[in-house]
Amino acid sequence: MQQFDPFPTVKMSVPNLKELLARMRDTSLRNAITIVHADSPEQGEWILANAAARLTRSGARLFGPEAMPPAAIVEQALRIGAKTVLVGEVRRAEDAQALRAAAALGINVAGTISKPQRRQAVQLLDLLGPWGNYDIRLISRQPPIR
């Protein structure tokens, strides 16, 4: 069953928000990790804060974004039983391991990568892998790399 935004009159002008919310609300996804490509860390925080506000209003069991490392955010989310986690900026191999661990436990996870070009975001995502058994999606406003 697909959920709709409870406030449809509010125009969504936040980049990638619509795609992120659709993916976070999709209950059929398994081992799902969503990465939002942001132009700057501040833009990534803004996108996740807007997503958190909308998901909270629709009744999602959510944790994040918080000013903690992704591993600590995932650990806290497991303690409170959250089904959706927004971890913030993903930069290190430890961050990617935390995302994979949460996804393997059935938690819908989202984070951001802040790079000016989509190609750089894809390269970082590849370096943070392996992503073999995970449904990972990079959401970006920039066109796909050919």
92-124 pLDDT per residue, tens: 999 999 999 999 999 999 999 999 999 999 999
Above 70 in pLDDT, residue 5? Answer: no
CATH 3.40.50.720 fits 29-139, yes or no: no
> Helix (H) and strand (E) counts for the chain?
5, 5
Cis amide prior to 15 (ω within 30 degrees): no
> Cα(88)–Cα(111) distance, rounded to whole angstroms?
5
Q: What is the CA radius of gyration of the chain?
A: 14
How confident is the prediction for the chain on average, in pLDDT? 88
pLDDT-derived band at 145, boundaries 50, 70, 90: confident
Count of alpha carbons within 13 Å of 79, Cβ hemisphere only?
A: 6
The CA distance from 47 to 85, in Å, is 14
Q: Where are the domains of the chain?
A: 29-139
